[in-house]
Amino acid sequence: MKLTARNSAKGYFFISGWIIGFLIFTLIPIIRTFWFSFNRVRFTADGIKESFIGLLNYKNAFLMDVAFTDGLINYAGQMAVFIPVIITFSLIAAILLTKDIKGKGFFRTIFFLPVIITSGPVMKQLIEQNATSLPGISEYFSVQELANEFGLLGNLLGTVLSSFIMILWFCGVQILIFIAAIQKLDQSMYEAASIDGASGWQSFWKLTLPALMPVVGVNVLYTLVTLSGFSLNTIVQKISTDMYDINRGIGYATALSVIYFGVILIILTVFMVFINGRRKKAER
Amino acid sequence: MSKFQGTKINPKNFHKSQIKFYLFLVPFAVFMVLPLVFIFSQAFKPMDELLQFPPKILVAHPSFENFRQLFSTMTNSGLPVTRYLFNSITVTAITVILTVYISVSAGYALSKKKFGLRNFIFKVNTFALMFVPIAVSIPRYIIVVKMGLIDTFVINILPMLAMPVGLFLVKQFIDQIPDTLIEAAKIDGANDFIIFFRIIIPLCKPAIATLVILSFQTAWNYTEASSIYINNESFKTFAYFMNTVTSTNNTVAGMGMAAAAALIMFLPNLIIFIFTQSKVMNTMAHSGIK
């Protein structure tokens, strides 16, 4: 066997376990989901009956279902605000947590702690109990007033304020990824910069940030995915209720999820184009 | 000489110049701990405090009433609680170990091996990440039926093994391990398995610890298999049981029980976290690669 062939055989060997599991329980179901979205699907006594109806499900989603289109617009707006806030906050936190502070390990632990909370039943309870908004904020300003005064910007600001704590809770893994990346940066680079007279502020913008740009990309993707797939997300909830709805059914619900997937992809592309633009500018 | 602060190695002592960092870190740390305190105190709140509006974070008169209620309901159903607990522990342990092995070996192959479909596989994985998991539950059910895995114990474990998020994180992490390190090992006569177990796994410990936490959570909170694929009560998991207990008693009294159940579901997460966190937080600092 040639060397390259042997190498790739080894590669396939290491990845084989994952490929099998992924194919059976993720990829094939996803492909099936795409197919379902063009059908009317009914459960009958002798199995599942599919009848091809073309793009009707998609047409209904956009033209008949007000809750869905509204939800999508809302969701896109939320992402446009949440992702930059989460990325900025975790970057700041990561930089501080790599500085030499007493009790660094303790703070790192605490900042990672919410990762174990933001899943499943616990989070649901917290949201139901209204524990995710800053206590007091809602008494001083209402989101509505802000929206009236500053238009769209105020509306977004209101969203951030009202779910501020929740945004912080989604930062754990991102902070961790940033910390890992910052610790790998070459310290002698900073030394050289400071000998040349660069201030801490300058070396952040000229050294740290450009070097971290690829990691920012990773974090944007991770944030987007966790926020979008989060089981308490309104669209995810709508999809799961429509799936068992007699009038709408699984064909319609899968069409919704395909559209949702498309929207997530578009949002990701927008962020990635922005990040690549920054990176190119930094390289120049 | 304050400019050279950054090159000083780890001051063990408190210094005045650190105060500005504390000003930022302490308040946020408080926010991060808040939900934890809330979960604990919520479980011990008596009925009148649970219904209070606006809700208080701390409990004023703690009582075990919620737990007592929860456990007395449990004994009414046919199987002992320990059976569900045993199922959950087995499922979770197997899932975590296999997920870590599968993800790291796949991540290693994707990151350091060169083969034809490499980029394609990673792209597909990234796209799969973005697909709503709920939407695939019915096609998944069809496959499970076709494979004859309905009503078996392994179906609790199998669907979770290939975790797209896990592969994504591990692959990104292994990318940062320099190729030269692996080449050096090869020249010294190490084969792929030695490289994998002696170099990749030790260097990936932070990523693995993160993966352990994530997969533990998924497995421990996993109810899909129990509610869709399994009819046999004795194969079902604790998470599923907790869900049914709190949702079938969906009255005002159910609220207290839900709070107590949430605490019981949450505690193992916390324990695992405390055990793995030192790995997550510290090994990253001296992982030997810069």
pLDDT score for B97: 93
Residue B216: pLDDT band (50, 70, 90) is confident
Contact map slice: B 89-148 vs A, CB within 8 A: 101-103, 105-106, 108-110, 113-116, 118, 121, 124-140, 142-143, 147
* Residue of A10, A41, A92, A117 to mutate when probing chain B, most B C-beta within 10 A: A117
Q: For residue A191, give the nearest of B10, B1, B17, B4 by alpha carbon.
A: B4
Q: How far apart are CA A249 and CA B61, in angstroms?
A: 48
Q: What is the torsion angle, in degrees rounded to the nearest 10, for the CA atoms of residue A247, residue A252, residue A254 and residue A259? A: -140
pLDDT in tens, B99-141: 999 999 999 998 888 887 888 888 888 888 878 777 777 788 8
> Which residues on A lie below 8 Å from B128 (Cβ)?
22, 26-27, 30
Residues in chain A within 8 Å Cβ distance of B137: 243
Q: Please give, rounded to a whole number of angstroms, the shortest distance from the CA of B219 to a CA of chain A.
A: 11
Domain ranges of chain B: 82-251
Strand, helix or coil for residue A137: helix
- Residue partners of B271: CB distance under 8 A and separation at least 6: none
CB contact under 8 A, B7 and A32: no
Range with lowest mean pLDDT among A174-178, A258-262, B284-288: B284-288
Let me know: does A179 contact A112? Beta carbons within 8 Å: no
Most confident of the following: A179-193, B90-104, B146-160, B166-180? B90-104
pLDDT digits (tens, 9 = 90+) for B5-18: 443 444 556 666 77
Among A244, A215, A214, which residue's Cα sits nearest to residue A42? Answer: A244
SS3 state at A39: strand
Q: What is the helix (H) or strand (E) element at residue A49, kind and residue range? A: strand A47-52
Residue A180, CB-side half-sphere exposure with 13 Å CA sphere: 32
Structure tokens at B211: 């993966």
- B-chain residues within 8 Å CB-CB of A254? 135
Cα separation, B191 vs A248, whole angstroms: 56
Q: Is A24 on the interface with B (CB under 8 A)?
A: yes
Kindly report the average pLDDT of chain A as a whole number.
79
Q: What is the rounded distance in angstroms from the CA atom of residue A7 to the CA atom of residue B206? A: 27
Helix, strand, coil share of chain A (percent; to 5): 80, 5, 15
- Average pLDDT estimate for B45-50: 75
Any idea which of A173-187, A257-271, B31-45 has the lowest mean pLDDT?
Answer: B31-45
B195 in contact with A, Cβ within 8 Å:
no
Q: Per the structure block, which two tokens stand in for A136? A: 């007091």
For residue B161, the chain A residue with the least C-alpha distance is: A21
Interface of B with A in 7-66 (CB under 8 A): 7-8, 10-14, 18, 21-22, 24-25, 28-29, 31-36, 38-39, 42, 54-55, 57
Tell me which chain A residues have a C-beta less than 8 angstroms from the C-beta of B214: 115
Q: Which residue from B11, B36, B136 is facing A117, i.e. has the nearest CB? A: B36
Q: CA nearest A99 in B: which residue? A: B6
Question: In 10 A of CB B21, how many CB atoms?
Answer: 18
Reported ipTM: the value is 0.73
Residues A180-232 have pLDDT tens digits of: 788 778 788 888 888 888 888 888 888 888 888 888 888 898 888 888 877 66
Is residue A48 scored above 80 in pLDDT?
A: no
B55 prior amide bond cis, ω within 30? no
B54: Cβ contacts below 8 Å, ≥ 6 apart: A130, A135
Radius of gyration over every alpha carbon of chain B, rounded to an integer in angstroms:
24
- B249 has a pLDDT exceeding 60: no
Q: In terms of residues, how long is chain B?
A: 290
- Give the mean model confidence (pLDDT) for residues A42-47: 70
Contact B124 A27 (CB under 8 A): yes
* B175-206 per-position pLDDT tens digit: 878 888 888 998 998 888 888 888 888 888 87
What sign has the CA pseudo-torsion A150, A152, A153, A159? positive
CA A83 – CA A226 distance, rounded (Å): 11
Structure tokens at B24: 């930022």
What fold does the segment set B82-251 form as a domain?
MetI-like fold (1.10.3720)
pLDDT at A180: 79
Which residue is closest to A22 within chain B, CA to CA?
B162
Alpha carbon distance A264, A267 (integer Å)? 5
What pLDDT is attached to residue B19? Answer: 78
Please tell me the distance in Å from B109's CA to the nearest CA on chain A.
5
User: Taking CB atoms and an 8 Å limit, are A110 and B29 in contact across chains?
Assistant: yes
Q: Is the pLDDT of residue A24 over 60?
A: yes
Task: Give me the residue from B10, B108, B134 closest to A236, CB to CB.
Answer: B134
User: Are B283 and B92 within 8 A, CB to CB?
Assistant: no
Q: Which tokens is A85 given?
A: 């806030």
